[in-house]
Structures are given as structure tokens and as C-alpha cells.
Structure 1
Amino acid sequence: MKFIHVSDVHLGIKPDEGKPWSEKRAQDIWDSFAEVIGAAVELKPDFLLISGDLFHAQPLKKELREVNYLFSRIPQTKIILMAGNHDYLRTKSYYLTMEWEENVYFFRQEEPGHFDFEEENVSIYGLSYWHREIGEPVYDSIIPEDLSKINILLVHGGDPQHIPYHPKHILENGFDYIAAGHIHKGGQQIPGRAVMAGSLEPTDKNDVGSHGYWLGTIDKEHTDIHFHPVKKCEYCHEVYPVTGKTTNFELCEWAKTLLAERPGYQYFRLFLRGKVSPDTEFNTAKLEEFDRVVDVTEQLSPDYDYEKLKENYKDTLLGNYIEEMERRPQDVVTKKALEYGVNALLGYKICR
């Protein structure tokens, strides 16, 4: 049996809202889902497994019609769909009144259920969220009814507020594959048996690394699963090691070179990290004007000569403060307190 596994598409989200490329990013996510459907047209998998949060919020009627049309393009593929914690069901949800294509199987209840497919000898278990948070480990207690079938469990969760679960325990219950979603960083939790799909596209500037979908084949003895990246967007975190000699022109040149050398689908968070003179001010707003720069974060500490400060400010509040902080255990908190206190007493901005 061949399948595609995808999760956390978040149709309707507008990443990096306020940035010039926000609308493009929103459309890219729709186009990426259409790309998955295109792969299904070509590869003709038996099942398309969608492990929750197809939409970023309650879907509009027009959004459901768009998705249903895409589903109509792959009538040979059975689509298994659940609602996650972002698009969770409500009494008046359009999810429930949608007239889905015949190949769509939608979990409507928060209680676990299953769909049986005799031709493929497959049973697929799952549920839909009816609340934003579910703290009980519901999945750990589900037992397949017929162990002779290929038993698959659709999962959306993995943290204390969203159905915590234990992949090893679920597999010991008799499941052959766990098709998981919710955590946006994907990967194989148990090789060949339990996969967190990750988000199809990054939806937030902290969703770093590759994103995409999974293509697999499974029978009762063996599972073969591979990741297929979708590269319409990739967020990258880049660090510039600043010193006391670093200038604004230097930082602009670095950013320009970075943007010119890297592919156009990459977007950047820039981090300025190092020790500088306490009166240093970098023009981060200028850097944030560059195309594909999401934001700039300063992680700077003052380059003080504490021995010289003690000598120059002997028997003053500043000199006494430095001596007192140096007598304390030199852990992270003490070192930060020393930096912040000296900055404040000298009249500089708090360390960034």
C-alpha cells in the first residue's frame, strides 16, 4: 500500500504579516498543498493522510471549496482527514456541513474511531479536536480491532496541552504506522514506524530547516518512508560576530552579500552577537528594510575593563558595586547583573 503523509499545512495563515512578502508567503502555502496534490496525481498513492491543522483557523466555505476541488483531482486516492488544535471543530463549523468528495474520509468526533478499507486490508484510526487543548493521552489507549490488517493511527499532538503520546507504547498496542502531526519540525520518531510529518511549509520565522511531505509504502512486514522537501520558503538564522570595530556599513555589506549568495526562497533572521563598547548603536532598522530579512536581534554585551573601572571609581557606588558582584559566585545570573548594573550606573542602555 502506498501513501502520502502530510500535516500542519495551515492554509489561511499569513506569515511575516506586515512584511512586503507576506501575501506571497500566504499564497505559497496554498501552492505547496496543490503541489502535494499534483504529486498524488502523478504517483497515485492509495491514501493521503492529513494529520491535522490543514487550516490555520476555522475554514471559510470558499476555502473548503478550494480544497475539495483539489481532492477531486485524485479520485483514485482515499483522503483521510482530521481537525487539529488550530482548526478544531465547533457546532457550526463548516467542516461538518461540507459535502466532501466521495474519496474523503473525515473524522468528525473527538472520540477515537476508525475507517476500514477491505480492498487494501487497511484500518485507519483517529479523531478530530473539538477543543483547542486536550491534555489526556488519548492515543496511548487505542487498541486496533483486527491485528491481521495494516493498522495506521493518525495523531495530532505530542506536548502536554495537545494529546501527549508515547510512540513505542502505541506500536506495542498493535499499530503498524503512526502518522503524526502538530510539531512543525518533522522527522522519524521511530524509523519506519512513527513519523512526525512537520509542517508542509514553515509558518513562523522560528520554523527553521527543511519542510515538505512524506511518501511511503507499507505492508505487515515492512515500511519504507522517504521525505520530499517543498522549497518555497526556508527560514535561516544567521549570526554576525560583532566586535568593537564593527560598523553599520560593514553590517549592511554582510547582509547584501548574504542575500545575493543565497537562494531566493530563503528568508533570514539576523543575530548580531559579541562584545562592543557600551555606547555602540547599530542601525538594525536599516537592516530590516532589506528584502527577505525578517528581523534583526542584538545579542550584545559591553566590553568593560572592570579592573580599570574599579581603579577609576574607587570608593564610589560604581566601584563598590563591581567589587560586591565579583565576590559572589560567578554564574550566568551574577555576570548579567554585573553588566546591567554597570551599564545603568554609567548611564548606558541596558545590554541587548
Structure 2
Amino acid sequence: MKIKFIHTADIHLGSRFNNASFPGDIAKIRRQEMWSTFHDIVSLAHKEKVDFLFISGDLFESELITLGDLKRINEAFKSIQDTQILITPGNHDTYGEKSPYKLISWSENVNIFKAQELSLIEFTDLNTNIYGFAWSEKYISNEFRYNMDPLDKDKNNILMLHGDIYNKKSNYFPIDKNYLKKLSFDYVALGHVHKPDIQENGIVYPGSPEPLDFGEIGSHGVILGQLQDSRVQTKFITMSKRQFLNEELYLHPEMTYQEIINIIQSYHGRERNLYRLSLLGLVDSDIDMDQVINDVNKEFYYIEINNQVEPDYDLDKIMNQNSDNIIGLFIKEMRKKDLEDIEVKNALYLGLQALLKEKV
């Protein structure tokens, strides 16, 4: 029997972005956009008429989510009654003694794994068995092991886990990828890692549908999949409202002020995405890079610029203009050293910057 599903994780509703570099007004907008994307996922489930919506942990932030937020989530789930929703609580939305999951009565189509051990939920009408594991504490250092009866190969068998397949010493539920393969589940719906990663054997991290910071660059979304006769097909669907992008731009001394401005302003999606830009290389010493940065800032929705460019000084010209003062003497002494040495060159440029600024 064929089943159709959406797989998501790490939505982090309620996040306050306390450790983010961007300001509070943008953080507020990002919180609203995360909610909007959550509703978009529910709408996609309705549009695609999926049988299952898998949420592999960190649906929300337990310490920040409100009762009103929980009711809003539940109302959205209730709107897709024909879709069974499976939730495996993770390290940010643990199913412990004071779990927010216990504060409301969830819609009949919502199925929450509640035990910190592998459990089974059967859907006989869809010929599907779904296995899941709930976190009840913030850290789990014990490696995952399968402790259930043998899989019924006549059914679709899906495993939902929130953990780390990349680090066997992780405190966030280490999972041995090779061990997972041997278990022969038809699909393994993982969560915890915020970057999408579709491994072989149907082992999949969908990533967070909305990126949270500059450590989560690139496209973000959900997995739309279907499973039939142990054959799984998946498609990544982009959902995020914005992207975080890290860029490097190398400048050279022949570039004019306006050319530098034009290149920076040519970045795609500058009115929507969040950029972190490193400026490298050499520029004409007469170009005011602070003014460049000021001019381009207003052209971006959000940009952080790390200015590492060095001024390209015409040493002969400066020597001729300052032969009788400390600037000329400084250049003369520095030229006795190896100017190909990056540390010597940096010392020369830093010294010149300071001396020329004093002269002005």
C-alpha cells in the first residue's frame, strides 16, 4: 500500500534568538516568519493530501512556548484531520514531567511519542508501523539501540528519531548510521541537525524549515515523500522565507569606489536575505571603506560586513611627500625588512594608517 508523507523537524516555535547577531526588530520578524512557515507546512500537507506529517523533534521551545501558542499549533493540526501527525519530542521540547505537551488536549489526529524508549504506533488502515522515541531530559549520551520485535515486512516500517548520526560521543543521542542501515526500516525520519541531508537507505534529516542563524546557510524546507513496497521517493521542498548567506569578496586596487558599491549591491536577494560579507584584498588607499559600508548597508534587508581589506599604498609617492618627517623614516626602515612577509606588511600598513591619520 502506498503512503504519502511530509517529514519536518526543528521548527523551534517560540524561539527568541537570544544568541543571534541581528537586532531585536529582525528577531521579531523572524519569529513571525517561523510561525508562517509552520502554517505553510500544514497547508502543504492539506494540498498534497499526505497520509502522515512526521515532526522529528523540537517542534517548539519548551521554556518559551505559551499556552496560546500550543492552542494555535493544535488548531492548525485539527485543520488537517485526514493527515495523521506523528511527533517525537526532542531536546528542546522534551516530554518530561512538566512538558508543555501535557497542557492541552490534542486533536485526535495528533500522535505524540511519550516514552524515552522505542515505542510503536500502528496504523492498520494504512498498513504502516511507525516507531518513535521521546526525549524526557535535555541530554542523552547513550547510543541508540533497537529493542522491539522484528519488523513486519508486509507493512511500511518507519523510524522517527531526534539525534546525532555524525558524532558517536555526542550528548544529543548518538546514532550509528551503519547500525541504522542494518535495521532495514523503509524510512528513517531524523531530526536535530538543521541542515538538510538525504542519506542512502532512506535515512533523512530534513533540516529546519526556517534557518536560525548564520550557521545554517542555504535552502531550508521539508521532505515530501511517498513509500510503496519498501521503495521510497523523496523530494525536498523549499519553505523558508529567507536565507542566511556567508560571502567573501576580494577587492583589488584598480577598483573604484562605485565599482565596489556595484559589486556588493549585485548580490541576489539582498532585499530579503541575511548576509554576512567578508571584504578581503587590497583597495586604493584613498577609498573610504567606512563610507562604502555605510552606503551599502541601506540596500540590504540585513548585512554584517567584516572589513579585512588593506589599503594599497603608493610607497614611493608617500616617501617623496614625507622625506623629511617620521612617515618617510618609518617607510625607509620598514623597507629594510622582507615586505613579502605578511606580518611585516601588516605592520607597515598599520603603522602608515596611524601616522597618516595623525598627520591629517
Where on the TM-score scale, by shorter chain, does this alignment land: which range?
A: 0.7 to 0.9
**Residue identity (%):** 29
Please tell me whether residue 22 in structure 1 is matched to residue 22 in structure 2. no
Shift of 1:178: 0.7
Alignment of 1:265-276 (within 5 A): 265-276=272-283
Counterpart position of 1:331? none
State TM-score, norm by structure 2.
0.78
Alpha-carbon distance between aligned partners in 1 of 2:176 and 2:93, rounded to the nearest angstrom: 24
Alignment of 1:1-352 (within 5 A): 1-14=3-16, 17-18=22-23, 20-58=25-63, 59-138=65-144, 140-143=145-148, 145-148=150-153, 149-158=155-164, 159=167, 160-190=170-200, 193-246=202-255, 249-258=258-267, 262=269, 264-276=271-283, 282-283=289-290, 284-300=293-309, 312-313=332-333, 322=338
- Unaligned runs of 5+ residues in structure 2 are 320-328, 356-360
Alpha-carbon distance between aligned partners in 2 of 1:168 and 1:127, rounded to the nearest angstrom: 19
Alpha-carbon distance between aligned partners in 1 of 2:129 and 2:279, rounded to the nearest angstrom: 52
Report the residue type matching 1:132 in the other structure: K
Report the residue type matching 1:13 in the other structure: S
SS in 2 for 1:91: coil
Alpha-carbon distance between aligned partners in 1 of 2:112 and 2:296, rounded to the nearest angstrom: 46
Moved more, 141-150 or 120-129: 141-150
1:73-118 CA-to-partner distances (Å, cap 9, x unmatched) read 1111111112222233442222223211111111222222221222
Shift of 1:341: 5.5
Alpha-carbon distance between aligned partners in 1 of 2:29 and 2:261, rounded to the nearest angstrom: 25
Cα gap change, 1:341 to 1:91, in 2 (>3 Å) = farther
Number of aligned pairs? 330
Report the residue type matching 1:188 in the other structure: I
Alpha-carbon distance between aligned partners in 2 of 1:78 and 1:168, rounded to the nearest angstrom: 29
Shift of 1:11: 1.3
Report the residue type matching 1:166 in the other structure: D
Report the residue type matching 2:5 in the other structure: F
- Unaligned runs of 5+ residues in structure 1 are 327-334
Alpha-carbon distance between aligned partners in 1 of 2:149 and 2:241, rounded to the nearest angstrom: 38
Shift of 1:135: 2.3
Cα gap change, 1:249 to 1:347, in 2 (>3 Å) = closer
State TM-score, norm by structure 1.
0.80
SS in 2 for 1:119: helix
| Greater Rg by CA | 2
Cα gap change, 1:257 to 1:305, in 2 (>3 Å) = closer
CA RMSD of aligned residues (A): 3.3
Shift of 1:122: 1.8
